[in-house]
Amino acid sequence: MFNYIIIGAGSAGCVLANRLTENKANKILLLEAGGPDEKKEIHIPAAFSKLFKSEVDWEYYSTPQPQLNGRKLFMPRGKTLGGSSSINAMIYIRGHRADYDGWAALGNNGWSYQEVLPYFKRSEEQRTHKNEFHGLKGGLRISDLICKNELSEAFVKGAQEIGYDLNNDFNGAEQEGFGFYQVTQKFGKRHSTAAAFLEPAIRRPNLTTITHAEATKLLFEGKKVTGVEYQQGGELHQVFADAEVVLCGGTINTPKLLMHSGIGEGKHLQEIGIDTLHHLNGVGKNLQDHLFGGIMYRTKKEVTLDSAEDLFNVFGNLFNHLFFREGPFTSNVAEAGGFIKTTDSLPAPDIQFHFAPAFFLEHGTVKPKGNGFSIAPTLLTPKSRGFIKLQSNNPNEYPLINPQHFTNEEDIKTLIEGYKVGWKIMNSEAFAGYRDTLFMPEKVLQTDDEIAEHLRNSVEALYHPIGTCKMGNDSEAVVDSELKVHGIENLRIADASIMPIIPRGNTNAPTIMIAEKAADLILKKQPLKVWREEVAGF
């Protein structure tokens, strides 16, 4: 018998395992469907795209999207210790303060920016910025890039050339502007939540970690969760908790497990042959993700990350990384970026940019010959909402994932404006010495209609799915502001699925924050002291 069972050793689960085991009286079980984080590409930052469609990736796909001309979008999700923090591009972005004030305005007490900032800071070991916006003593190393490509420097200069400000700290006082991303790296290696939080906790005698253990359903007495059934090596096992079970499976796997356990929209469960234990209308709904479109140029200069993998360079670069933790293999590929408002009337940015000094085609899995560079305008505030449903009552079958991208026409209009700004940057004087022929799109686009068609044919999801078990009190809310599942005892959710609205930026840091706050809620600790801007002097 355990006190707490955590399902999923990803970005949130590893943090929770660490925090809950700090008290030696707590006996914790951590279940992970994937294996140990031993694959060598996990620890080489520039190799992250080689992890896609491998044994450490769930390799999900959306249903065909009518507004994207029937395309299915690839949705990688980490399936190993560290979860998606072990396969992502390591960008550390919290989002905008308006995101969390927006959560609080929906009735989620305790989730305003001033209240969640201390939980962001608790995780962080910031190596550059020493001010009230950052944490210095946490377990997660937040670093500047060791190796910055000259093309990424040109991108930042190009943005300034067309009138945008330089921003050296996207997580500080202001998010707007352009600059280099900070990354979750330590000594040139990926610093996942497995490395930062699970590794120190795994030595504690009160933590049991079981890998290759996929949860199939929750166990109940009435409407009180008592344990979990999981499969490992073709056999079913049952484990029990006398305090709580905490779901950290993520935006796809958490609602999937709830529905297979009889928690969800009763009509849907009945249609696929699952008895409804508890009707909860919002399970699987409210799906949101960031979409990005691509602009790519060829360059004749062999200074890109494409050249870093050439036969003549790869062994030297690998040697530099393995023995000196330096060189282009320490790159996170998406080295630089920025945040803009497409109209001045907006309260916060609605477009983010990711720049790669390389071709980033088909999620980095396709490598055209030669050298190139890529810019990805990204929609930060999608108004389209999708859903996840089960295909059958077989827990081994993947769910149907329908993000319903671009079903709200405002989304494509906003991304068209982002494309136009990206085009201006790519054609700025800063890139004059690098631009060769246009690679994507194949020709200069003259009208909004042409840009829209290019986006429908080329946009991809940015691996930031959220919202399918949203926090709130309305008819589609799944958890309350303490992350307890409505109508169910001894069950909480602590992962990106609880986000009611997607943050403006990459979602790994917000997921870690959720786990930090969840730990205090579970342990009934007083919340961290509210951060007050006027006291900090900003």
User: What is the set of active-site residues?
Assistant: 464
Q: β-strands 351-356, 336-340: how paired?
A: antiparallel
Other Cβ atoms closer than 10 A to 233: 7
Amino acid at 152: S
Could you identify the residue written with the tokens 């949860």?
215
CA distance 402 to 227: 30
CA distance 472 to 107: 6
Residue 397 is classified by DSSP as S
Q: Are 331 and 46 in contact (CB under 8 A)?
A: yes
What six digits make up the tokens of 247?
Answer: 């779901």
CA distance 338 to 93: 11
What six digits make up the tokens of 246?
Answer: 């905490």
> End-to-end alpha-carbon separation of the chain, Å?
49
Alpha helices in 194-249 (DSSP H): 199-201
Q: Are 453 and 446 in contact (CB under 8 A)?
A: no
25 closest CA partner among 39, 42, 4: 4
Could you identify the residue written with the tokens 């309260």?
347
61's CB contacts (< 8 A; 6+ apart) are 72, 73, 74, 75, 401
What is the secondary structure of 340-351 as a DSSP string?
Answer: E-SSTT-SS--E
CA distance 114 to 97: 8
Residue 196 is classified by DSSP as I
CA distance 337 to 497: 26
CA distance 213 to 234: 10
Q: How many residues does the chain have?
A: 538
CA distance 277 to 221: 11
24 - beta bridge partners? none
Backbone CA torsion sign across 235, 256, 16, 43 = positive
Residue 366 is classified by DSSP as B
Q: Name the CA dihedral angle for 322, 328, 332, 335, rounded to a multiple of 10 degrees.
A: 150
Could you identify the residue written with the tokens 């085609």?
361
CA distance 118 to 493: 20
Could you identify the residue written with the tokens 């950052």?
134
